[in-house]
Amino acid sequence: MKVFVTGATGFIGASIVRELLKDGATVKALARAGSDRSNINGLDVEICEGDLCAPESLEKGIRGCDMVFHAAADYRLWTKEPSQMYEINVNGTRNVLAAALKAEVSKVVYTSSVGTLGNPGDGNPGNESTPVSLADMVGHYKKSKFLAEREAESFIAKGLPLVIVNPSTPVGRLDIKPTPTGKIIVDFLNGKMPAYLDTGLNIIDVEDCAVAISWLPKKGASAKNTSWGTRT
């Protein structure tokens, strides 16, 4: 099984790569020219230099692959240039999925965010069926991921075998930047958190998250007994 992974040098993506290798997959990892690749140094992966905003590089990378794991994203809570975030998260996702559809891969797993789910507002947890709209999204990151999901759903309608996953607050090793999520922990440990909020977070270890995301169909599995074109 040959798989193509975007975001492979990042936090969740690097753990996805490790799980795929454990499963015996041949991994092609998308990496921007000059990017920090320390998260996958020493791993048996093929580096495909390219960019989410360069469709031809995605088509070249996905060509010959059986599956695609799209985990790349611009994850920032604030940015001076919101257009860049939409270009990567929305248009970049469209480019990846268009290339996957063209290559006729057997499965795509798109890593979205729990932030795109609706909140019932009555104290009960939201889920994929909770009504939600773009107006409910706070900040450009959530808005861009919400719009990216709509892109993903449009490709499901075109016949792409796609699964959307919505992880919540992953923490753990390989968060080298750190991500905004990891920075919460780092700032707390360094005594740099000036205030506390009465709120809640659903925490998941990034390696457990990767196990769920990187699940490969059992040998001989068919479309009848796998979750093609669904959300998880």
Residue 61 belongs to domain with CATH number: 3.40.50.720
C-alpha 49, offset from chain centre: 18
Q: Which two tokens stand for residue 220?
A: 């001989």
What gap in Å lies between CA 1 and CA 162, rounded to an integer?
A: 17
Which among 55, 53, 106, 94 is positioned nearest to 216, based on CA atoms? 106
Q: Are 87 and 71 in contact (CB under 8 A)?
A: no
Q: Average pLDDT for residues 205-223, to the nearest whole number? A: 69
Q: Name the residue with higher pLDDT: 135 or 126.
A: 135
Backbone φ and ψ for 102, nearest 5 degrees, come out as -65, -35
Give the pLDDT confidence score for residue 219 in this predicted structure.
Answer: 38
The region of weakest confidence among 47-51, 57-61, 124-128 is 124-128
Q: Give the confidence band of 228 by pLDDT, cuts at 50, 70, 90.
A: very low
Q: Give the confidence band of 61 by pLDDT, cuts at 50, 70, 90.
A: very high
Number of structural domains (the chain) is: 1
Q: Average pLDDT for residues 105-113, to the nearest whole number? A: 95
Q: For residue 53, what are the domain limits?
A: 2-231
Give the pLDDT confidence score for residue 63 in this predicted structure.
Answer: 94
